[in-house]
Amino acid sequence: MTQRKSAMILAAGLGTRLGTLTQNKPKALVTINGITLLQLTIENLVKFGYNHFVVNTHHYAEMIHDFLRTPTFNGFEISISDESEQLLNTGGGILKALSLFDKNEAVLVHNVDVLSDIDFRVLHEKFLKSGDDAWLFVQKRTNERKLLCNENKQLVGWTNHSTKQYKWANKPQLHFNEFAFSGLHFFKTSLFANKKPCVCKIIDLYLEKSQHHRIQLKEINPNYWFDLGKSETLEKAAIFLSKNTE
């Protein structure tokens, strides 16, 4: 029997950065070269052995539900975590969906508007062997918001350079390294086992848990990584994919 390998796809966002593209549909159903972001994400993860998907929904939720019922996804194990009544943000959405995963399972969380060629098969195995509670994949790229870590790559804080705001896992740090979050991360379900669902950001949850758990930043350097939450990036990604895929 094939072992279940789970990924949660965050698809509940309003997609406001995409302007008119999300006026009449959710961000997850915006297309790139004729294929929706949601389908691109699922098909990419299937290549790396993922066979169970949890998709959270809010904005035009029923459209996503209907889309996942189409023949394209026959044979896939897909669970819906419906946030139609209240959008719970990135952290709350994960807390609400916990019951859909196995106990102590390692789960990949993937923003629906991120596209990359990261080899999650290899990373999943390394995460399982690490004994860590969570891995947050990060990059050295220009971004106002940064995750902060100590010399051991343990998460210690978060900052927004434009507002000069800082959040710390424990006390403020004088020495740290900073990286941009990729919107991709692994976590063990046991990490949040006793946390009740609430409206919250995932980074705030990780900062809270980092006080007593191993929350590590892992730098990635993929051949390509796109944040598809903006229309101009969608266009760049479409051109890139058309030139670099058979």
CATH assignment of 6-244? 3.90.550.10
> Cα separation of 79 and 230, whole Å?
27
HSE (CB half, 13 Å, CA atoms) of 50?
A: 28
pTM: predicted TM-score of the whole model, two decimal places: 0.96
Residues 6 or more apart from 21 whose CB is under 8 A from it? 15, 27, 30, 231, 234
Q: How far apart are CA 84 and CA 57, in angstroms?
A: 7
Structure tokens at 240: 């890139």
Q: What is the 3-state secondary structure (H, E, C) of 145-210?
A: EEEEECCCCEEEEEEECCCCEEEECCCCCCCCEEEEEEEEEEEEHHHHCCCCCCCCCHHHHHHHHC
Confidence at residue 37, expressed as pLDDT on a 0 to 100 scale? 97
Q: How many CB atoms lie within 10 A of CB 232?
A: 8
Structure tokens at 20: 């008119």
Alpha-carbon distance 6 to 22, whole Å? 28
- Residue recorded with tokens 């399972």: 105
Residue 32: what pLDDT?
Answer: 94
pLDDT score recorded for residue 194: 87
Q: pLDDT averaged over consecutive 10-residue blocks of the chain (246 residues)?
A: 89 92 94 96 96 97 97 94 96 97 95 96 97 97 96 97 96 95 97 93 98 97 92 91 78
Query: Which two tokens mark 151?
Result: 């010399």
